[in-house]
A and B are shown apart, each in its own frame.
Chain A
Amino acid sequence: MNRRNTDRLVNTYADMILRISYMYLKQSYDAEDICQTVFLKLLSGEYDFKDASHEKAWIIRTTINACKDHLRTSFWKRATDLENAGEIVAPKEPESELLDLVMTLPYNYRISIYLHYYEGYRVGEIATMLGKSENTVSAYLNRGRKKLRGLLENPDAQTNTIAKGVM
């Protein structure tokens, strides 16, 4: 894997990994670590992808697994990463009320919405990536859309929820 291939990987997939990480972790700070984890796994293994879409699907699945691992160990990682907090600037998070509402949904809904509406994957493909049944993914999308519609029609519902959390 020479420099040209490393550049190709980073330029093709780093932003996608960042976006998936953001969907899962609700922050962009750890995205660079997630990227490194995914790319190093690819570099250190002997994977034979039949085409670009196969490679992309592998990267998405691996990113999701890396995010799940991160959530499991997140307290420890935050404690140790504080020492380096000043050295890494997290990617700027978008300022979008719609995205803020999407981020209030459960993470399976968020990631399904992202994979379907942004990456353009079909329900069956998303099901394979998430390790779920097609019915489950359809439910994620339907419920996610319904909750989002409710939030868009009644923004106060979300505000009240936040106020409760603060108190």
Chain B
Amino acid sequence: MSDIIKTEFKNSIDELHFTPAAKERMCRKLEHSPANPEGSKKSNMKKWSITRTAAAAAVCLMLTGIPVLASTGITQWVSGTRSAYEYHSPEEMTVVQKEAQGDNETPMPAFPKSFDNGFVFDGGNKVNTSGLDAGQNIIQKWIEAEGYYKNTERQTVSLTMSYIPPSETDIAPTESRMIGDIPVNYDYSEYLFVPVGYEMDEAIKNRMETDDHFQISDGTDDVETVYYSSVSFVREGISYLLLSSDEVSADELFDMAQELINE
């Protein structure tokens, strides 16, 4: 091959390269991938494994929309989200927020870059949820926007925004506070995650009957107990849920809610 041809070949191949933004995106995805052992430790992904992510989605739904779903004939739901972040900045989250908005009049506010208590935006996902009836037919589908915030102590708080109204439940929240004229509910509950077909003993059955802040969810691979703390409120037709399984205090979550309400 002549030198001229070799040079032209090399020059044309040199033109083929990733942009800096694409490389940055790849680095972030790799850093947070469950397949990356160091990434798992860093982002606490061990606690947010794929099955646990699905379980956290179950918690979100329990805290927000189950009775509403029941009135529509929906008896079960399927929720899906990626295990790695799809979106890496609050600006990127506007894509899924616009998709979630659909025909709703009020747009979702931007996800904050950070909160005063040190939680910083780490990444986010679109959550696709389908409500199914008893015959497994899809009755309703909706999209929620879910952002994750982390602090230097490796605690994680998720912020979910949704147009699904919150549940009208007779279960009293652990604590309620008014922030301006908006009631904000705090809940601290124990969730027992079990595999499908798990045999529950009498003590667990009894607790299910008597303890409003004890829930059981099946479908995970292993038996695991997780304590979830959350605050939820509705502002201008949008439901907000701040949720953590890392023992984030009620005061911290209320403070975050206040920042969102006062925005």
Contacts and interface: CB of A to CB of B under 8 A. Distances in A.
Interface of A: 1-3, 6-7, 9-11, 14-15, 18-19, 22, 28, 31-32, 35-36, 39-40, 43-44, 87, 89, 91-96, 98-99, 102, 113-114, 117-118, 145, 148, 152
Contacts of B86: 87
Contact of B5 (A11, A35, A44, A98): A98
Interface of B: 1, 5-6, 8-13, 15-19, 22-23, 25-27, 29-31, 33, 35-39, 42, 86, 95
A99 B22 CA distance: 23
Contacts of A93: 16
A43 B16 contact: no
Contacts of A44: 35-37
A102 B17 CA distance: 18
26 contacts: A1-B38, A10-B23, A14-B26, A15-B17, A15-B18, A18-B17, A19-B16, A32-B25, A32-B26, A35-B26, A36-B33, A40-B30, A40-B35, A40-B36, A43-B36, A44-B37, A91-B18, A91-B19, A92-B16, A94-B13, A94-B16, A95-B15, A98-B5, A99-B12, A99-B13, A148-B5
Q: Is the interface of B mostly helix, strand, loop or mixed?
A: helix
Closest 8 CB pairs of A and B: A96-B12, A94-B15, A99-B12, A44-B35, A15-B17, A94-B12, A40-B35, A43-B36
Given A98-B8, A99-B9, A28 B26 contact: no
B6 to A, nearest CB: 6
B39 to A, nearest CB: 8
